[in-house]
């Protein structure tokens, strides 16, 4: 009785670990706002947004915590904007990825103003902090992802710290 139960449990765990390998690997879309941002997979440049690429080739799968899944970091960069970084797993790769880049007001103003006007312009004030309600909403969404098991405890802590740093 106990041998059969133990064997069934072992088979169940093995099948669960292999389920990540069964994900359909197809080209995923990576977009950004603003567009024409560089996309990097584990430090290797893939191209500019909007990008259609089989990200499973860029993020090889491996074992972690008894789960076989794609792993790595996707970074979207654009000059004058804060880098967008995303920890990758099979769930994230199965959907389109959109990077909302935070570009400073100073850079936007410089792109529009002629050189003579820029010399006379006063430095722009620091961008206003996001409303507390928006940050609270992001924290609630982050906590929901953690409770569902979509992100790890370490990812939860790092992201929470980054969000609270925006206050």
- pLDDT reported for residue 110: 45
pLDDT tier, 133 (very low <50, low <70, confident <90, very high otherwise): confident
What the chain holds in terms of domains, given with CATH numbers, is: 22-125 (2.60.40), 129-167 (no CATH)
Q: Is 114 left (phi over 0), alpha (psi -120 to 50) or beta?
A: beta
CA distance 144 to 142: 5
For residue 154, what are the CA distances in angstroms to 64, 139, 158, 159, 161? 14, 15, 6, 9, 11
Comparing CA positions, the residue from 84, 85, 87, 74 lying closest to residue 45 is: 74
- H or E, element range at 38: strand 38-41
* Helices and strands in the chain, H and E counts: 7, 11
DSSP code of 22? G
Give the global pTM.
Answer: 0.49
pLDDT at residue 148 greater than cutoff 60: yes
- pLDDT reported for residue 39: 93
CA distance 98 to 60: 21
pLDDT tier, 38 (very low <50, low <70, confident <90, very high otherwise): very high
**pLDDT tens string 104-124:** 754 444 444 444 444 444 455
pLDDT at residue 76 greater than cutoff 60: yes
What radius of gyration, in Å, describes the C-alpha atoms of the chain?
A: 21
- pLDDT reported for residue 12: 61
Q: Which residue has the tokens 């929470």?
A: 160
Q: What is the mean pLDDT of residues 65-79?
A: 85
pLDDT at residue 62 greater than cutoff 60: yes
CA distance 54 to 57: 6
pLDDT tier, 136 (very low <50, low <70, confident <90, very high otherwise): confident
pLDDT at residue 61 greater than cutoff 90: no
Q: Which residue has the tokens 């370490």?
A: 154
CA distance 137 to 91: 22
CA distance 76 to 104: 16
Tokens of 71: 């792993």
Q: Return the higher-pLDDT residue of 16 and 79.
A: 79
Q: What percent of the chain has pLDDT over 70?
A: 67
- pLDDT reported for residue 6: 60
- pLDDT reported for residue 14: 58
């Amino acid at each position: 009785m106990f041998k059969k139960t133990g064997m069934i449990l072992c088979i169940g765990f093995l099948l669960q670990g292999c389920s990540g390998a069964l994900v359909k690997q197809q080209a995923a879309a990576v977009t950004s706002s603003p567009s024409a941002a560089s996309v990097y997979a584990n430090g290797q440049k893939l191209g500019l947004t909007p990008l259609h690429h089989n990200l499973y080739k860029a993020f090889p799968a491996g074992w972690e915590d008894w789960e076989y899944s794609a792993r790595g970091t996707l970074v979207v960069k654009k000059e004058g904007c804060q880098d967008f970084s995303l920890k990758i797993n099979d769930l994230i790769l199965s959907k389109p990825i959109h990077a909302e880049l935070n570009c400073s007001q100073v850079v936007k103003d410089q792109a529009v103003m002629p050189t003579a006007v820029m010399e006379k312009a006063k430095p722009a004030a620091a961008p206003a902090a996001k409303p507390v309600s928006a940050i609270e909403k992001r924290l609630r969404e982050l906590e929901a992802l953690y409770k569902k098991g979509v992100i790890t405890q370490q990812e939860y802590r790092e992201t929470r710290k980054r969000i609270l740093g925006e206050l």
